[in-house]
Amino acid sequence: MSAVFERRLREQRARVLIRTHGYRQRRHAHGVWLRLRRVLADTSAAYAVSDTDAQALVAEGHAVQPVGSELEPPKLIVTVPADRVRTMVGAAPVPIRMGGDLLAAPCLVLVRFGVASPQSEVQ
């Protein structure tokens, strides 16, 4: 075989291996990326918080998104009203996209579109 043909054959095999790996990863994910995208589609703002802050929000009764536990490593994703996030000191804004900032945060707080805080509904 010629050197050019061998190089092309190696490149083709590498592309097939990468494509096969991608298909296998999507099949094993069982739709978790689609569910995460769906949660992010309803989000107007996202914040990275510490584990203690996230646990405090859960203790207050705010909703935990189950898709976070399906990720590896698992993430605690809590949905809260915008008024509650404003009172949090350590909340760091994170872009709402499937990027490194969002995926690297161990605990996320999401603010959904059109969700008013319970205090604003009473007034």
Q: What is the pLDDT of residues 22-34, one digit of tens each?
A: 776 666 667 788 8
21 with 67, same domain: the answer is no
12 with 54, same domain: the answer is no
- What pLDDT is recorded for position 89? 86
- What pLDDT is recorded for position 28? 65
Q: How many domains does the chain have?
A: 2
CA distance linking residue 64 with residue 76, whole number of Å: 7
Angle at 76 between CA 40 and CA 121, to 5 degrees: 65
53 with 113, same domain: the answer is yes
Greatest alpha-carbon pair distance for the chain in Å reads 80
Domain that holds residue 17: 1-30
9 with 39, same domain: the answer is no
61: burial class by Cβ within 10 Å (0-12, 13-18, 19+)? exposed
20 with 37, same domain: the answer is no
88 with 116, same domain: the answer is yes
Q: Residues of the chain with pLDDT > 70: what percent?
A: 86
Over residues 55-81, mean pLDDT: 93
Q: Residues of the chain with pLDDT > 90: what percent?
A: 51
92 with 52, same domain: the answer is yes
Residue 110: count of CB within 10 angstroms of its CB: 24
38 with 15, same domain: the answer is no
What is the model's pTM? 0.70
41 with 99, same domain: the answer is yes
Residue 85: count of CB within 10 angstroms of its CB: 19
- What pLDDT is recorded for position 116? 56
